A and B are shown apart, each in its own frame.
Chain A
């Protein structure tokens, strides 16, 4: 990348810079005209200068040929002007003033907009180039960089460049011109004074940059310190588990405080120096008038200088400090952004980089790799000289399955990375299918080779997107028929900023391995999931997922059928007692009290969790529901008090922090004393005397209570009736528009916010029925299959978002999904880098078996730690200290005296 910011800016924005310079030049006469007009308005228009009884009119807009006198000797008049009276002239001048204001404003608008656009284009180009480099960094280099630092560089550190680029050439040209004009004018008036001004300006120009040298260094330090701070914060977040687990938060705090202090000191010194420079600068500027007044005055007194000329010089001088000052400010800004630019660029110049040609967009399918894998004398050396691989030789036909067995120091992981072309060997040669892997472009390696890492990364997208990620190679097909009118403009802009035109809305999925139709895609995805044994997991994501019936009316209708069918089945098999079905007119004992009261789903936070006990509308309804002399609100508080009493009785003896609190109690151990006080207060002066907060706490307890689960015998039939009355009253108030966020459970309708499973069960699993849940799940699956809904549910499961880095999946699910991604691509050689390590050995063997059967006749290199798992591979290579120490069939290696005999014997 270009090291000099100005060269970079000039190279990529030359035409635009020139246009803006021209525009500025053209705007100048208009600007001066607008400065001159007020004088004319006052003098001629208002005061009537030049008007008299004899001459009631004046010419306006007299046009003489510029330099006419010089060329022809006399004034050449082109247009003799309009004859106007004083009033008309005033009106015309005032209107001209308005026109000038508008014209100037429009010039300013155009120039500023163009400057801004040019700056943004260049910033976009720079940011793209930097991000593009990140995409092209070799993995070993990338591993050495801190994410947070790279992100700050691309996002924040180059940001000020955008503002500066617009002024990079215009400002010095314009201000320099102004300053030069003023200086020339002074020179013309008096050579001495001109020389004095020039001397001082030159002193400024020489001294100020020297004083700024230290500022420059400080600026660099500041930038590095701020970047390091960003990196450190990223690090602390990455290591949060360690930090919490080892009580090192204060150590981290100390480190952060130290860094902030360091940044403060740098900034403080910057301010001190900056303002000193400013002070000196101002002083030097004011030194000139001082010399003019003193020296010029003395000269004038001595009669050596005409007073008129002195006044003219002083008048001209007032135009000099402004531009000079601004020039100096511009220079300050220049230094600042140049440092930023250079500091950023420096970080983006690794020794080697993947050439752009290796990542070219290729719509053609890559040619399959056939033949064999051949590694000769392969070595891999770390920066510090440690050998990870040395003199490694390996040969295998691409139809075979090879197991590489070795411990974690054997170098097998690094070998796997090298085979996949992710890391380049330091020496030796590696050919797959006759092609040199180190020179294999990514559009071949990334399509024909499959690689599964142990710490496979998942993007915070759906399961489907993560599976298809392995196929998103190029924009294959335009999905929309219509042309987006904005598209052309956007593409043009992309090109202007040096960004490639890559339409994101195209279908980027390589349909080769999975087929063109949605059905084929579906099958391929399910097959891949089946191979890694994740079909059931995804199905579960599906039944616990939700669908929007407005978007999937057919599926919603089918699920309602499933609801009816399940009910029928349960009745037929005498299993109706497993589900406590939702009935608008009955209390549901397996649900909590809050669920009974709301009887529906909501996305409104004020109707969920703790907020419900404080919701004014709910409280109002509870107070209004009366029966048997008490309101429902009173009853529920009494129940809350009973629960609190029981909890205090049960848990009082347990030490605080006992796991029972988490598992069983309604009350956390820390809150127990608070509830003891609350009970005491209620006993002394009655429940009604508690304050609003305390009443809400009691209500909260009640809301979480479920008779079937907690069995404290607190809700009898009379109370159930009353709660039902409350449910009806609440529903009425909610549906009358006071809060329409509640979607009630309706036997005839699909509930959008409830999971599919709840919609099909349409009730709660009855608590405490042996094998109730598993029986029901079995039946639900059966019903869904009968109605041919499995695929639809799988689809919902496939849209399950796996969370940041796949955090919503278990470790083994992450690994399996990574394997499925690689299988979906159907590579010529699948390289597995001990990628199922988090699975128990029997599951691992089962998956391995399935994968191997599926890839019969297609190459696999599987790096593994446990030799037992290598049993059915065609070949086994044993690795140790970066070399292959033994080779052969599993039987040979494990026979007496074989390289693995001891290992197998052990285990």
Chain B
């Protein structure tokens, strides 16, 4: 997979959908592309995060370790999913483990790179804000629904 295909993949990620191709190309060029074998972890719950990942190919499970030591798969991440962005935005430990289910390729966007991009290209920052706001809204709704359910 060459840089151009990575850029095409990035365009399909909602977070970057509205960003110029040249900026995406720079981001792709400056980022490491990692290959994970089935079972290898991308991020580990509880660890400090220093990067976000974008899945370019393959599928990964989002796993939460419960206090009794058992694991629960809470979601699956497919192609073009973004993960780990919360940890790099607000310095909290990873909230879940993400593990490759099959051979998976991901673009690793380091904290440093991400902040530099936001700084240099404010539209990326705006886009991030928009997505986070949308998520907050969804979480609020979910919470309301959950309370109503009790």
Whether the pair B29, A664 counts as a contact (CB closer than 8 A) is yes
Total contacts A-B at CB 8 Å: 46
Chain B residues with CB below 8 A from A767, complex form: 32
Q: Is the CB of B33 within 8 A of A711?
A: yes
- Bound: A86/B115 CA distance, A: 109
Residues in B neighbouring A616, C-beta threshold 8 A: none
- Residues of A near B25 (CB, < 8 A) are 649-650
Is B17's beta carbon under 8 Å from chain A? no
Nearest-neighbour CB distance to chain B for A648, whole angstroms, equals 11
Within 8 A of A (CB), among B1-52: 1-4, 6, 22, 25-26, 29-30, 32-37, 40, 42
A767 CB to closest chain B CB, in angstroms? 8
Q: Is the CB of A650 within 8 A of B2?
A: no
A771 smallest CB distance to B (angstroms): 7
Report whether B22 and A650 are in contact in the complex, using a CB–CB cutoff of 8 Å.
yes
**Interface residues of B, CB < 8 Å — how many?**
20
- Which residues of chain A have C-beta atoms less than 8 A from B35's C-beta? 768-770
Name the residue in A653, A654, A658, A659 with the highest tally of chain B Cβ atoms < 10 Å from its Cβ: A653
Kindly state whether residue B137 has any CB partner on chain A within 8 Å: no
Q: Is A713 an interface residue (CB 8 A)?
A: yes
Residues of chain A with a CB closer than 8 A to B40's CB = 770-771
In the bound assembly, the distance between CA atoms of A650 and B6 in angstroms comes to 15
Q: Give Cα distance in the complex from A650 to B33, angstroms.
A: 18
Smallest CB separation, A298 vs chain B (Å): 102
Q: Which of A654, A663, A768, A770 contacts B42 (CB 8 A)?
A: A770
Is B116 part of the contact surface with A, judged by Cβ < 8 Å? yes
Q: Are A650 and B32 also in contact (CB < 8 A) when A711-B1, A711-B3, A713-B2 are? A: no
Q: Which of B22, B36, B42, B116 contacts A659 (CB 8 A)?
A: B116
Closest to B40 in A: A770
A650 touches B4 (CB 8 A): no
Q: Is B120 interfacial (CB 8 A cutoff)?
A: yes
Do residues A713 and B4 form an inter-chain contact, with CB atoms below 8 A? yes
A820 CB, nearest partner CB in chain B, Å = 31
How far does the alpha carbon of A770 sit from the alpha carbon of B37 in the complex, in Å? 8
Q: How many whole Å from A54's CB to the nearest CB in chain B?
A: 116
B30→A712 contact, CB < 8 A: no
The answer to whether the Cβ of A660 comes within 8 Å of any Cβ in the partner chain is yes
The answer to whether A712 and B3 touch across the interface, beta carbons within 8 angstroms, is yes
Contact A663 B33 (CB under 8 A): no
- A658 CB contacts on chain B under 8 angstroms: 116, 120
A164 is an interface residue with CB less than 8 A from chain B: no
Q: Chain A: how many interface residues by the 8 Å CB criterion?
A: 20
A651 interface residue per 8 A CB criterion: yes
Known: A711-B1, A711-B3. A653 touches B22 (CB 8 A): yes
Of chain A, the residue at the smallest CB distance from B117 is A660
Least CB distance from A567 to B in Å reads 19
In contact, B34 and A770 (Cβ under 8 angstroms): yes
Contact B22 A660 (CB under 8 A): no
Q: Could you say which of B30, B34, B42, B120 contacts A769, with CB atoms under 8 Å apart?
A: B34
Residue from the set B1, B29, B33 with the largest chain A CB neighbour count within 10 Å: B29
Chain A residues with Cβ below 8 Å from B34 are: 768-770
- Interface membership of chain B positions 118-142, coded 1 if the CB is closer than 8 angstroms to chain A and 0 otherwise: 0010000000000000000000000
Which residues of A are found within 8 Å of B42, using beta-carbon distances? Answer: 770
Residues of A within 8 A of B6 (CB): 711
A770-B40, A771-B40 in contact; A660/B30 too (CB < 8 A)?
A: yes
Q: Which of B22, B25, B35 has the most CB of A within 10 A?
A: B35
A649 vs B33: C-alpha distance when bound (angstroms): 21
Q: Which residues from 643 to 686 on chain A have a C-beta closer than 8 Å to any C-beta of chain B?
A: 646, 649-651, 653-654, 658-660, 663-664
1/0 per residue A761-781: CB within 8 Å of B?
A: 000000111110000000000
| B26, A768: Cβ atoms closer than 8 Å | no
How near does chain B come to A710, taking the closest CB pair, in angstroms?
A: 8
A-chain residues with CB within 8 Å of residue B22 when the two chains form the complex: 649-650, 653
How far is the CB of B4 from the nearest CB of chain A, in Å? 7
Closest 5 CB pairs of A and B: A713-B2, A770-B36, A770-B34, A650-B26, A768-B33
| A/B interface sample: 20 pairs, CB < 8 A | A646-B29, A649-B22, A650-B22, A650-B25, A654-B120, A658-B116, A660-B26, A660-B30, A660-B116, A663-B30, A664-B29, A710-B29, A711-B2, A711-B3, A711-B6, A768-B32, A768-B35, A770-B35, A770-B36, A770-B42
What 6 additional pairs, Cβ within 8 angstroms, besides A650-B26, A711-B1? A651-B26, A660-B116, A663-B30, A712-B3, A768-B32, A770-B34
Residue numbers of B with Cβ under 8 A of A are 1-4, 6, 22, 25-26, 29-30, 32-37, 40, 42, 116, 120
